[in-house]
Structure 1
């Protein structure tokens, strides 16, 4: 895998003098989505009964949030390059609080759907602007290590959120999850107002506010071949990851007969592998290039996905599939962190736009893995096949793509 050279990076180098927000509140602002996505899921059946609606409509409240979260990143990221980060994080966090309260008080399903749309848009503001803050202030290995730290903290969310949601159902209704999200939002808002500095000074902001200007900034980044390569890799690898998220509970509980408690252990174990790999990324980046870590993640993830598919086809015991999935999710930690650090490096002239494309498109396109896994039957075979195609294609792109780009840039070999 070829290293990215200085000429690949567009924009001025990062300089000192500007401070980054405290890492823990910044990580929660960037990763509020897992909490808002997963915390209320255990209460979906009760939610449907309480609001007098169907299970399909109740699940639509989840889809509404995810769609708004993906679209919101594409809208807010380029805007933050023009108006600055801090005000958007403040507005987004405040709107998240209001939307969470509206969710908790929703008298009907349509009201809840609207509130969830607003909540998704608001969560996207913090995610994309917060990630851009890192690139505003840091560069090189320091930026990669902070991004890895944010990813590791964020990976805790999918493990903790459903457990918290289930515990809240033991003492109250599904509405408690949204009240807790509102409280978390208030705490974050105080932290943002009191300790988040503006990281993008006026002289470094892009010209133009509006859809046309935002589209132009996105187009400029997409003209960078390496950036587009990382972006495509991220999107197709995420399709497989979403297939795992959507299908794993059905696979283990229906096909392998695991109890809900044991499946929770499966999910938590796999998530722990992702946390460990992102921490490892942060520890060794600098000694090992980000490109190499990304390539290792893709190759190992593809090989483990092949193990999942083979185990499914041969009707292997559930623990075999579980072990392979643990390796896949661990590899995804390297893939997600690697593609994020590289797109932020290459898009350092407009890091908000870079974060919008890498986050919004990966989340939106990757989300296709959820219905795709369902259409293919939600079986262990379908899950393994989708993961293998996504990670395998990504591995091929990252191993062969830079060589092809280098040859293309060099032009045709002259005849003798």
Structure 2
């Protein structure tokens, strides 16, 4: 029993990775029910997704730095408690406006958990095994994204509000478990952490790759849903099954991607994911066979993990202070790319459906290799890289 209690906080580090994407995506499959209950259309109800992700991405620009100042363990536990409270508020919201406010607060609370959990993992795991640890964290994030529509759909069979009750209960459990004892000491925190220490040229370049990697891969799921209906005539259930393949690939492969990073390095793995992902996005958007599209979308989930786990490893594996702030900035860029993709790409799809897939793929293939920095030289600073 003592051994189990000692292992629970370590397991909670990974479980926290599940909660964020799950909370962001849980409403996707129950938008018609939310709309009917709050007196709006399903399209208007979709703003509950944007409300969460937009605030989530914006708050992560500084949440890692503030969390380091306030103390990781204290900040994470407080954020979980706040997440639970606003989840109950969402469950009780009588109007869409109040639901949107609760969703925004959910995103803000989540922003004070994800980057700090990643930084905590970096503090626990030896550098040579960091890739596989972050790979497991990535698998939990992929699992959250993959199962959220299913759980939301089941809850909506009774009442969509129960999905938020589940979120509140999960957050309370995670708050009770907390962080491992080795991370509860003030020695793991940095009361002098500054945002400008995280906003270095190297971190911003890695953040750009994260933005491209998510915006041009996972962020195009909505676009594939459009094509699945317009070109192949799939039903909503069939479209949902098709989109789930991306997250399933992340669950199955993230751990192996982390092991690959430990062997060949973060930059090479990111470039492998960017180039293969670009080719797969073009396939998803142009090939007239639904079987080929489904297979390519699954493999795109693998390519996405190469990029996302790779950028996290690159920034957390660097020497120097405020690693929590640095990974927070990179995660902000990542989810900002996902939030911007519908606004940027939908008009292109209206004009030319194939171009809506090809243009992001080309940007990913060209800009990611140019932006992704190499590893820091031994004894160097985070701004110095090998050529």
Residues 1:151 and 2:138 are matched in the alignment: yes
TM-superposed deviation, 1:130: 0.9
Q: Deviations over 1:295-320 (max 9, x none)?
A: 21122112223333442xxxx22222
Instruction: Extract unaligned runs of 5+ from structure 2.
Output: 1-5, 378-382
Indicate conservation of the 8 Å contact 2:10/2:180, yes or no.
no
Indicate conservation of the 8 Å contact 1:369/1:386, yes or no.
no
Q: Matched residue of 1:367: which SS?
A: helix
Q: In structure 2, do the counterparts of structure 1 residues 79 and 254 end up closer, same or farther at CA, with 3 Å as the change threshold?
A: same
TM-superposed deviation, 1:20: 8.8
Q: Which of 214, 218, 230 lines up with 1:238 in the alignment?
A: 214
Higher mean C-alpha deviation, range 180-189 or range 84-93: 180-189
Q: Which of 320, 331, 338 lines up with 1:359 in the alignment?
A: 331
Alpha-carbon distance in structure 2 between the residues aligned to 1:75 and 1:144:
24
**How big is the alpha-carbon RMSD for the aligned residues of Structure 1 and Structure 2?**
2.8
TM-superposed deviation, 1:241: 2.2
Larger radius of gyration: 1
Alpha-carbon distance in structure 1 between the residues aligned to 2:313 and 2:360:
22
Indicate conservation of the 8 Å contact 1:39/1:165, yes or no.
yes
TM-superposed deviation, 1:89: 0.5
- Equivalent residue, structure 2, for 1:287: 263
Q: In structure 2, do the counterparts of structure 1 residues 385 and 200 end up closer, same or farther at CA, with 3 Å as the change threshold?
A: farther
Alpha-carbon distance in structure 2 between the residues aligned to 1:253 and 1:90:
43
Alpha-carbon distance in structure 1 between the residues aligned to 2:289 and 2:30:
31
Higher mean C-alpha deviation, range 23-32 or range 176-185: 23-32
Q: Structure 2 matches for 1:311-350, cutoff 5 A? A: 311=287, 316-346=288-318, 348-350=320-322
Q: In structure 2, do the counterparts of structure 1 residues 342 and 303 end up closer, same or farther at CA, with 3 Å as the change threshold?
A: same
Alpha-carbon distance in structure 2 between the residues aligned to 1:77 and 1:21:
23
Indicate conservation of the 8 Å contact 2:208/2:371, yes or no.
no
- Equivalent residue, structure 1, for 2:173: 187
Indicate conservation of the 8 Å contact 2:119/2:323, yes or no.
yes
- Equivalent residue, structure 2, for 1:374: 346
Indicate conservation of the 8 Å contact 1:236/1:393, yes or no.
no
Higher mean C-alpha deviation, range 108-117 or range 388-397: 388-397
Count, aligned residues:
374
Indicate conservation of the 8 Å contact 2:13/2:121, yes or no.
no
Q: Structure 2 matches for 1:158-237, cutoff 5 A? A: 158-170=145-157, 172-192=158-178, 196-197=180-181, 199=183, 201-203=185-187, 205-208=189-192, 214-219=194-199, 222-223=200-201, 225=202, 227-237=203-213
- Equivalent residue, structure 2, for 1:82: 69
TM-superposed deviation, 1:207: 4.4
TM-superposed deviation, 1:162: 0.7
Q: Matched residue of 1:155: which SS?
A: helix
Residues 1:36 and 2:20 are matched in the alignment: no
Residues 1:384 and 2:360 are matched in the alignment: no
Structure 1 residue runs of 4 or more that deviate by more than 4 Å after TM superposition: none
TM-superposed deviation, 1:348: 4.8
Residues 1:134 and 2:121 are matched in the alignment: yes
Alpha-carbon distance in structure 2 between the residues aligned to 1:191 and 1:334:
30
Q: Matched residue of 2:104: which SS?
A: helix
- Equivalent residue, structure 2, for 1:263: 239
Alpha-carbon distance in structure 2 between the residues aligned to 1:59 and 1:373:
17
Q: Deviations over 1:72-108 (max 9, x none)?
A: 2223210122222000111000000000000000112
Q: In structure 2, do the counterparts of structure 1 residues 245 and 348 end up closer, same or farther at CA, with 3 Å as the change threshold?
A: farther
Q: Deviations over 1:139-166 (max 9, x none)?
A: 4122221111110122111221111111
Instruction: Extract unaligned runs of 5+ from structure 1.
Output: 1-18, 411-416
The two structures have a TM-score, normalised by structure 1, of 0.82
Indicate conservation of the 8 Å contact 1:80/1:129, yes or no.
yes
Indicate conservation of the 8 Å contact 2:80/2:171, yes or no.
yes
Q: Deviations over 1:41-68 (max 9, x none)?
A: 2221121221223444422222111111
TM-superposed deviation, 1:23: 4.1
Alpha-carbon distance in structure 2 between the residues aligned to 1:339 and 1:306:
23
Alpha-carbon distance in structure 1 between the residues aligned to 2:90 and 2:83:
10
- Equivalent residue, structure 2, for 1:393: 366
